[in-house]
Amino acid sequence: MSIARRLVVEADGGSRGNPGPAGYGAVVIDAATGETLAEAAEYIGVATNNVAEYRGLIAGLTAAKALFPDAGDALRVHVRMDSKLVVEQMSGRWKIKHPDMKPLAARAAAILPPSSVTYEWIPRAQNKHADRLANEAMDAGRDGRQWEASASTAELDAPARTPLPDRGPPGDAVAGAAKARAALAAARGGTADAGTLFDAGASEEPEPTDVTAVAGTTAVPASEAASPQVGWAAAPDLGTPATFILLRHGETLLTPEKRFSGSGGTDPELSAVGRDQAARAALHFAALGTVQDIVCSPLRRCRETAAAVADRLGLDVRIEDGLRESDFGAWEGLTFGEVRERYGDDLTAWLADPETAPTGGGESFTEVADRVAAARDRLTARYAGRTVLVVTHVTPIKTLVRLALEAPAQSMFRMELSAASISTVAYYGDGNASVRLLNDTSHLR
| Residues with catalytic function | 249, 325
Dist. CA 26–CA 60, nearest whole Å? 5
Query: CA 217, CA 115: separation in Å to the nearest integer?
Result: 7
Q: What are phi and psi of 359, to 5 degrees?
A: -55, 140
**Which helix or strand (DSSP H or E) is residue 374 part of?**
helix 365-382
Give CA–CA dist 164/364, Å, rounded. 39
Report how far apart, in Å, the C-alpha atoms of 169 and of each of 4, 5, 26, 188, 382 are.
12, 14, 28, 26, 40
Note if the bond before 256 is cis, omega within 30 degrees. no
Report the half-sphere exposure of 17 (CA within 13 A, side-chain side): 9
Residue type, 93: R
**Number of helices and strands in the chain (H, E):** 11, 11
Helix (H) or strand (E) holding 196: none
CB atoms within 10 A of CB 312: 18
